[in-house]
Structure 1
């Protein structure tokens, strides 16, 4: 797929991995629509890049539907929405049970609601919009890139909710790609390792350096621009489909 001139929706696109993706796709000539729950940051970035913004909570079906509709409208004269990247996510750290009590149900439900159900919400609405696109020479109509985590495979102590949610995203990848193969829409998931996102930026510098040093090579935190570069490559490489790609510098997370 040629990114230039393609409609692109980046959900969770105002910060971290999503912001880098918004920047990368916009710089490559995509017609980008940023969807994010943070209206202030979303509008600021959209104004900077000269793209659209839609206030979006991924757990609200009508808001995801509106974001997709906005992305379709913005690109209707250029072939419609062709690229969707789902980057929104949250975390929660707590053990299943222990001396401090058991894991409450509500945070678990919330993490699943945002990370897994929210991703599915974006996937289904974006894919349905892509069905209406005119196919390219090879029959391709679009690509959806989802975001999991190495925690889907190497969940650490206290990551039960986060790992479950990201494991669900991994599990959706192949069946979604198979479901959508008949209409020419690809589905690929990226599972990032330790990246220099706003979440880690709040840690002391020595803690950040220690985390980076735990990565085999390169021994540093990942740059969100490297995630965004992979999103762009996935869009351009048609043989990437139904796959989960670990982007982690060969790290395998220890229990804690």
Structure 2
């Protein structure tokens, strides 16, 4: 897909981190970008900075998501690109010992379901809503391409650590979406891929640096090469290539400096 002003994109979570870098990179190519986020102040600021539109969207709410796509399409036209980065999740071990009573307790099913909704179900929601809109577009080339969906998993999909039963399994679900989506959408010329980023220098990780420089240094040292956390711009670079290169389809791609996470 040629990335220019003839193409529109929706980027979820675009107020910060990997999504912000992706929105910025797409806008730099001339793509008309719509940012979805619940952070209205941050999203508006990024949209103003890169010449995008902002739409307050809760990815866990069907009506909010539908309304966001309608607003974005009214502003920029039907998107051919979706980059879905937004998520919400909870932590906790499956079985843990209560500090007050000393008894074993189980992570609540509601906590697990909250994370599944905030990561796995939301990824399907945003991908399917985008695909429904893309299906009505004319192909942009002789191969019949109509659009491209990029989902964001995590290396935790394969290397989930202790306390990541919710996050890791939900991210594994996002990895598992790539191929079924690609096959379901193949006759429509819509591609789907999932990126599994490792540890990136996003705001939550930069906060770790401020709190504890030693922990930050340890995280950097844990990456085989390069011995540093990933840069959001490196994630965005892969997003651009996945959209440009039509032969990326149904792929799950680790972007992690060769890190493999230990149990803890």
Structures share a fold, TM > 0.5? Answer: yes
- Summarize deviations over 1:203-236 as a string: whole Å, max 9, x none: 1222122111101111110001110110011000
Provide the C-alpha distance between the structure 2 equivalents of 1:199 and 1:102, rounded to a whole number of angstroms. 27
- Summarize deviations over 1:140-194 as a string: whole Å, max 9, x none: 0000000000000011000000011101111111010000000000001000001
Shift of 1:72: 2.1
SS in 2 for 1:202: helix
- Summarize deviations over 1:26-47 as a string: whole Å, max 9, x none: 1111000000011110111111
Shift of 1:132: 1.1
1:238 partnered with 2:243: no
Q: Residue in 2 aligned with 1:153? A: 158
SS in 1 for 2:80: strand
1:255 partnered with 2:255: no
Matches within 5 A, 1:203-218: 203=208, 204-218=212-226
Q: Residue in 1 aligned with 2:235? A: 227
Matches within 5 A, 1:72-151: 72-76=73-77, 80-100=78-98, 101-137=105-141, 138-151=143-156
Query: Aligned pair count?
Result: 253
Which blocks of at least 5 consecutive residues in structure 2 are unaligned? 99-104
Provide the C-alpha distance between the structure 2 equivalents of 1:182 and 1:207, rounded to a whole number of angstroms. 48
Q: TM-score, normalised by structure 1?
A: 0.96
Q: TM-score, normalised by structure 2?
A: 0.93
Provide the C-alpha distance between the structure 2 equivalents of 1:198 and 1:84, rounded to a whole number of angstroms. 22
Alpha-carbon distance change, 198 to 91 in structure 1, aligned in 2, over 3 angstroms: farther
Provide the C-alpha distance between the structure 2 equivalents of 1:209 and 1:157, rounded to a whole number of angstroms. 21
Provide the C-alpha distance between the structure 2 equivalents of 1:52 and 1:187, rounded to a whole number of angstroms. 24
Q: Which segments of structure 1 move beyond 3 Å, counting only runs of 4 or more?
A: none
Deviates more, 1:170-179 or 1:62-71: 62-71
Shift of 1:102: 2.0
Provide the C-alpha distance between the structure 2 equivalents of 1:70 and 1:236, rounded to a whole number of angstroms. 26
